[in-house]
A and B are shown apart, each in its own frame.
Chain A
C-alpha cells in the first residue's frame, strides 16, 4: 500500500477533520459524506484516517472481524471453528476501500476461486462488506458508483447484515460499517436514498487565504519528495490524535446530555423542517462524540452548534425560493434558535 499522507499534516479543512474524527469515536453517528472542489484533500484526509484508527478486540482468524462479545453463531466462520474463540487480537478498525469498478461479487462476497478450482470445494470468500465490518467503508467518487452496487450497499447498510444466496452458497454475516464517501458534486448527484445513509456531510472548499495555500503546497511538496521521512516527522502528532480518539471512545458513555441541549436540538430541527427523527438523533450523538473528543463530560450548546451544519446540511428540503445554500440557512436557523 502506498504511504498515506499524515492526518495531522492536513492544513485547514477543520470541519471535515472533525466530522471524520467524530465518526471514528462513535460509529452510530453514521457515515460521513465529503463533497467538494477538486484538489481539496478529500480522499487524502480519509485515507489518512486509516492510520489513526483505534484498536478494537477481534477474534483471531475470523475473516468477518467478529467482536469476542458478539455471539458466535451469527458468524459463518466462528460457528464452524469454536476453537478460535479463545484467541483474541487487538486490531485497528479497518478502513476498506471500495474502488470504482469493483464488481458486485467482490463487494458482497463470492465463491472462493482458489478452493473451487484447486480442491473442487464449495466455500464462500467474504467480500469487501465483511472486511469493513466494525470499521469504515470508503467510496471515492461515490456519486459515480454503479447503481447495482449502490442497491447492494443500501440493503446491507439498512439491515447491518449481508445475505448471499447463490447456487447453493447460502451465507449471512453481520456487516455494520460506517459509510464514508467523497465526490465532486459537479459530476453527478447522489441518489436520495444513499444520501440518507450518511450521518454527516461536509462541504470542502479550496482555502482562499494565500498563506494557507502556501503551507498546503509546501507540506505536500515535502511529502512527495520523501514520503517515509515526512510520515516519520508527523508520527508523534498522528499518535496524539489516535490517543485522543481512543480516550474519547472509552469515555463517551459517561458524557452527559443535559435537557436544554436536547430541547435546542429539537427546536433546531423543527425550525429547519427536517424530516423524521434521524436528524435530531444524529445531532445529539455527534455533539456527544465531539464533547468526548474534547475531554469534557457534559454536552453544551457550543458543541451542538458546531456539529449542526455537518449533521443537517444534507437533510434540508430544497427550497426553490431561497437562493442561498443550505449552509447559510442552517447558520440563520442557529442564530434564531439560539438567540
Chain B
C-alpha cells in the first residue's frame, strides 16, 4: 500500500522478535488492528518464533473471574468428596502468551487481574473457600479492535505492555519483512539477560522518555529490556547505539505525549537535583549527559519517525491528554438487576427480581452436602439446597440518564412563556419515557426553589405536577441552581447520569437569604454557578424571555451549559433542540 505501511509492518515484526526473546521482561503487546489477514499474519509471525509447547491461549473478552483465576471445580469436588480446585486460564498460560480478544471491551476487573499477573508473575485466588496462589508468568497480547475514539484499551493494562502496535494502515501488500530465524531467537532468549546495558545507555533511554513526556518509569524499564533483547538478537554482549534506537522507536515513541524541541528541551528535562540520593552512585553526573547529548538527538530522530500519525495533529491542537481516556466515565456504568452485561455473582434472593445463577448456587451448596444429609435423615436424591446458597447474577448496564428540568415559574417568566415551556417539557417527558430515562423537576418562584418532582419514570405524575404548577413571584435563581446542583450530585452518586435543563429568562432577583434586590442576587448567583460548574454536569439553558437577551446567555456561560433561545414557534422545535443536545 504505502511505504508507511511497510515501515509499520517492519516495526511490528521486530517487536514480535523482541517479545519472543524476552516475553516476561516486556509484558506483551497492545495490538491495534481489525481482525483480518494482517493481524493473523502478525500472530503467525510471533507463533512461528516460539517453541511448539509454549502456551499460547486465547482469553475471551467475556471470561468469568472464576475461569480466569481458577476456583472450585464443582463436578470434581462433588465426585471426590474433597475440594478440588480448577486451574484458571492465566495459570494455564504460565510461561507463555495469553491473547486477550476484543481487549478494548474487556471488564475493568479482568484487566486488573491481568495487571496483577504481569506485576507479580503469579495470581492469588481467594474464592469459594479456596485460598491459593499459582504461578502465572505471562505475556499478554491485547487485541484491540477499537475503531473510533470511544473505546480504548484499559490504560493500566496498556501501560504494562511494552509495545503498542497499530496495524490499521498496514495492507496485505506490505507484509514483507525479514524476521530473525527461530534459531537466532532461541539463542537470544538465553543470552538476553547477560547483555550489558551500561549506565550511559540506560540514562539515555530514560532521558529520551523524559523528552517525549513519557513519565512512567515502566516505559523506561521496557525500553531497557527491549534494547537488551535487540542486542541479543544481533549476538552482541553489550547494548549499542542501534539497539537504543530500536528501543526508543518501538517502546517510547508510541507513548509520546509531546514532541521534543531538540535543543532547549534537553535542558528543561534535566532540572537541578533536589535532594541527595544516598543509594545512588555519584558517577553518572552531568558530563555523561553532555557527552550523550549529540547521540541523544539521533535517538529522538529515530523515534520521531515512528510517532503515531495522528499524534502530531493532536499535539498541534492543544496536546494529547495525559490523563486516562477513561477518566470521567466512572459512575456512568451501574449495577442493574436484570439487564446489561453479567459481572459476577453475589449471595442474594432470586425472588427480588434478580436472575439465579445455578452453577454458583450449586457451588455454594456443595460443601454443605454431607452435613445436610446427616442433619436430615431420609433419602434425598440430589443436592440439598437452602436459601443461603442462592447466588444471583449481577449485571452492569449503561447507566440511565436523568433529565432534570428547572422551570422558572416567576412572574416575569410566567406571563410570557410558561405555557410554552410546559408544553415543551411535556413533549420531552414523552421522549424520556421512550428512552426509559428518568425525569425530575425543580420549579422556582417566590422565595425559593422546590423539588416539584423527585426522579421518576412516571409520566402521569410528571404531567400532573407540571400542569398544577402556578406562576408568579420573584426569581430565586440562586436557590434554583443550588437545588439543581445538589440533585445532580445525588443522581451521580446513585450511578445515574444527570442532564440539567434550565428554562428561565436568567434574571434572578432573589438572594440566597430570600432578600430582594438584583445586586445581592447577582453576587450569590456567581458562587452558586461556580459550585454548579465544579459538579461538571451537562445540559442547557433555554431562554424563555420574550426577546432572547444577554442575561440568560451569561447564565449559560457561567454554568458552562449550552445556551438556546426558545424559538417563537412550537414546543416541538424545543424538544428537537434538547434532544440534539442531550448526552
Contacts and interface: CB of A to CB of B under 8 A. Distances in A.
Interface of A: 1-2, 8-9, 11-12, 37-41, 43, 97-107, 110-114, 116-118, 120-122, 125, 128, 140-141, 144, 146-148, 166-167, 184, 186-189, 206, 208-221, 224-225, 318, 320-321
A73 to B, nearest CB: 26
B113 A101 contact: yes
Contacts of A218: 199, 202
A208 B93 CA distance: 37
A100 B279 contact: no
A208 B206 contact: no
Interface stretch (B44-52, B268-276, B553-561): B268-276
B411 to A, nearest CB: 31
A219 B279 contact: yes
A178 B284 CA distance: 40
A321 B131 contact: no
B436 interface: no
Interface residues of B, number: 84
A220 to B, nearest CB: 6
Given A111-B368, A117-B83, A167-B388, 17 more contacts: A11-B277, A38-B155, A40-B217, A97-B124, A99-B125, A101-B112, A113-B130, A116-B370, A141-B112, A186-B155, A186-B323, A186-B324, A209-B271, A209-B274, A210-B271, A211-B273, A221-B224
A2 B126 contact: no
A97 B123 CA distance: 11
5 nearest A-B pairs in the assembled complex, by CB-CB distance: A39-B216, A120-B370, A320-B534, A102-B126, A106-B126
B386 A167 contact: yes
A125 B207 contact: no
Given A144-B109, A187-B330, A2 B83 contact: no
Interface of B: 25, 65, 69, 72, 77, 81-83, 108-109, 112-113, 116, 119-131, 133, 155-156, 159, 193, 197, 199, 202-203, 205-207, 209-210, 215-221, 224-225, 269-271, 273-274, 277, 279-280, 284, 289, 323-324, 326-327, 330-331, 335, 344, 346-347, 366-371, 373-374, 386, 388, 527, 530-531, 533-534
Contact of B206 (A8, A39, A101, A217): A217
Contact of B116 (A9, A41, A140, A187): A140
A295 B273 CA distance: 28
A49 to B, nearest CB: 16
B371 A99 contact: no
Contacts of B112: 100-101, 141, 144
B65 A101 contact: yes
B131 A38 contact: no
Given A106-B127, A210-B207, A210-B210, A117 B199 contact: no
A99 B126 contact: yes
A43 B119 contact: yes
Nearest to A43: B119
A60 to B, nearest CB: 21
Contact of A187 (B193, B202, B324, B386): B324
A112 to B, nearest CB: 8
Which residue of B155, B197, B220 has the most chain A CB atoms within 10 A of its CB atom? B220
Contacts of A184: 156, 324
B188 to A, nearest CB: 16
B82 A114 contact: yes
Contacts of B202: 214, 217-218, 221
A9 B278 CA distance: 10
Nearest to A110: B129
A24 to B, nearest CB: 21
B131 A106 contact: yes
Contacts of B344: 146
A67 to B, nearest CB: 24
A116 B203 CA distance: 58
B121 A38 contact: no
B348 to A, nearest CB: 10
Contact of B527 (A11, A214, A321): A321
A9 B91 CA distance: 30
A102 B127 contact: yes
30 contacts: A1-B122, A8-B279, A11-B277, A37-B216, A38-B218, A98-B126, A101-B65, A101-B109, A102-B126, A103-B126, A113-B129, A113-B130, A114-B83, A116-B367, A116-B370, A117-B82, A117-B366, A117-B367, A141-B112, A144-B112, A186-B326, A209-B273, A210-B206, A210-B210, A211-B277, A213-B210, A214-B203, A217-B202, A217-B221, A220-B217
Contacts of B327: 186-187
Contacts of B65: 101
